Amino acid sequence: MAIMYWWLIPIIVVAFALTAWIYVKQSRKSKAVTRSVPIAHSGRLTQLSSYRRLYVQYRRIVLAIIVILGIGLVATTILVARPVSENLVSPQQKNRDIMLCLDVSGSMYGVDKDIFATFRSLVDNFQGQRIGLTVFNSSAVTIVPLTDDYDLLRSYLDKGQIGFNYITKNQYSSDYTSDGYKDFRTMVDGTSANSDAGASLVGD
């Protein structure tokens, strides 16, 4: 806990002490003046039990007032000084859903390859987030629905990374029997009505 206006505390304490000193000084002067005035039989008066009882009550009342004023002063000083506390909260956001929607038309192969590689490296650090994968060209296909099954995600992200890395390098000389091409076809099958007339949905 910290005090915003800490410098007010010594000021208030000094002001209170000065006020108390002035009060005591004036009280002593008043008593001195009273004692200098001759009063007949004042000694007998102070010896009376009723006088002593009233004097004790008076002292108790004065003491109670001083205690109350002291408590009020402390409370006022604390309120005026405005104590504040700092609490740093770092919320853990584990409920975010990430849906990858990738354009797998020919012009995006290089970009898709980088996206697959990036998310493949990120998925190892995810904790509780759900991830899904949808690819599209002339039509959309959901490869992986939203899930936190990271083993399944790693499997398809690996296929996507390998497949698009292969097709980027061998787009015009593909070996249809190679594992790289098969992984590529796994990711894009069903996204084109036919291989010749297929077009990206981006322009729609």
Spell out the domain ranges in the chain: 2-84, 97-188
pLDDT at residue number 135: 94
Average pLDDT score over residue span 173-197:
80
Q: What is the pLDDT of residues 152-166, one digit of tens each?
A: 999 999 999 999 999
- 188 or 10, which is more confident? 188
pLDDT at residue number 29: 66
CA distance 131 to 38: 99
Residue 198 has pLDDT above 60, yes or no: no
Residue 147 has pLDDT above 60, yes or no: yes
Task: For residue 103, give the nearest of 94, 93, 115 by alpha carbon.
Answer: 115
Q: Is 12 exposed, middle or buried (0-12, 13-18, 19+ CB in 10 A)?
A: middle
pLDDT at residue number 202: 44
Superfamily of domain 97-188: von Willebrand factor, type A domain (3.40.50.410)
Q: Are strands 130-136 and 97-103 parallel, antiparallel or unpaired?
A: parallel
Q: Name the H helices within 37-125.
A: 42-47, 49-81, 109-122
- 101 or 20, which is more confident? 101
Residue 79 has pLDDT above 80, yes or no: no
